Amino acid sequence: MLRGYLIALVCAVAVAFAHAANASSADFHAGIKAYAAGDIDTALDRWNDAAQEGHAGAAYLLANLYADGLAGSVQHHLAFRYYEQAAQAGHTEAQIALANYYRTGNEAAGIEVDLHKAHAWLAKAAYNRNAHAQYILGDMHTKGEGVEQNPHRGLRWFLLAAEKKYPLALARLGLIYSAGEIVTPDVPKGFMYMSLAAEEARGRERATIVAQYDRMLAQVTPLDRQLGLEMASKWRAERQALRR
């Protein structure tokens, strides 16, 4: 399962770096071909060469291999090193991964909890429009984790992530508006966000979000449901128009 997940990740990173044309890029793409063919040793060699030449995508993929134990065994000290290299080069997903090491700490990597550093790395990714980072920052501000508790600032981060159709942010807004947390209760708006979340959810979070949607569907009135669905349709149409 991890290998299948990483293949999807490799493809996404390959697309992001498709137009680079230098020695590190050649090693990077050779590593992708080797990994797709199941030759992990060659992939490691090629990505290591590319990373040494400063290729952020290669460093990020190496970090994932070591973090998930796909390079023989889980080696968090190496994963952290490569995440840090990619993060310093501006790779937003690496910045999030690095932040998570600081957010939870990792004894194997020799990393102690440092919420200030976690927040700083997440902020770098969030200001580069990464929805995942924006969502985590929203959660940290809402809870007061490493920062002064400020639910309204957290809400703004959730809204920014939701504009990018990030499912976890959409679902969180659904709960916030339905329950009246932070904002005045608005059940139709809450159902709008939750229905959008269920529609956009993929992969690991889909089961959880669909379960939240089903619970909300069982609780709302037919009128609130209809209003919410109409609002969701309008929300989608407005954002589609902006992309034209």
The rounded distance, in Å, linking the Cα atoms of 88 and 82 is: 10
Residue 169 lies in a domain: yes
| Dist CA 47 CA 25 (whole Å) | 9
Query: Does residue 140 lie within any of the structural domains?
Result: no
The b-or-e profile of 213-241 (16+ CB within 10 A means b, else e) is: beebeeebeeebbebbeebbeebeeeeee
Question: Does 109 map to a domain?
Answer: no
Assigned domain for 70 exists: yes
The last residue of a domain, from among 72, 89, 106 = 89
pTM of the model: 0.87
Tell me whether residue 43 is in a domain.
yes
- The domain boundary, picked from 58, 89, 120, lies at 89
Distance from chain centroid for Cα 218 = 29
Assign residue 13 the CATH number of its domain.
Answer: 1.25.40
Q: Do 141 and 104 form a contact (C-beta atoms < 8 A)?
A: no
Task: Count structural domains, the chain.
Answer: 2
Can you give the residue range of the structural domain that contains 23? 1-89
Tokens coding 4: 């299948």
pLDDT, position 6 = 55
pLDDT of residue 9: 53
pLDDT of residue 70: 86
What's the half-sphere exposure (Cβ side, CA atoms, 13 Å) at 48? 11
Q: What is the CA radius of gyration of the chain?
A: 20
Please check whether residues 85 and 169 belong to one and the same domain.
no
Residue at which a domain ends, from 89, 122, 151: 89
Question: Considering the domain boundaries, does residue 129 fall inside one?
Answer: no
Q: What is the mean pLDDT for each group of 10 consecutive residues in the chain (244 residues)?
A: 48 48 79 92 94 95 93 92 97 97 95 97 97 98 96 98 98 97 96 98 95 98 98 94 77
Q: Are 132 and 123 in contact (CB under 8 A)?
A: no
- Cβ neighbors of 127 (< 8 A, separation 6 or more) are none
With H, G, I as helix, E, B as strand and everything else as coil, classify residue 111: strand
In this predicted structure, what is the pLDDT of residue 240?
A: 85
> What's the half-sphere exposure (Cβ side, CA atoms, 13 Å) at 167?
17
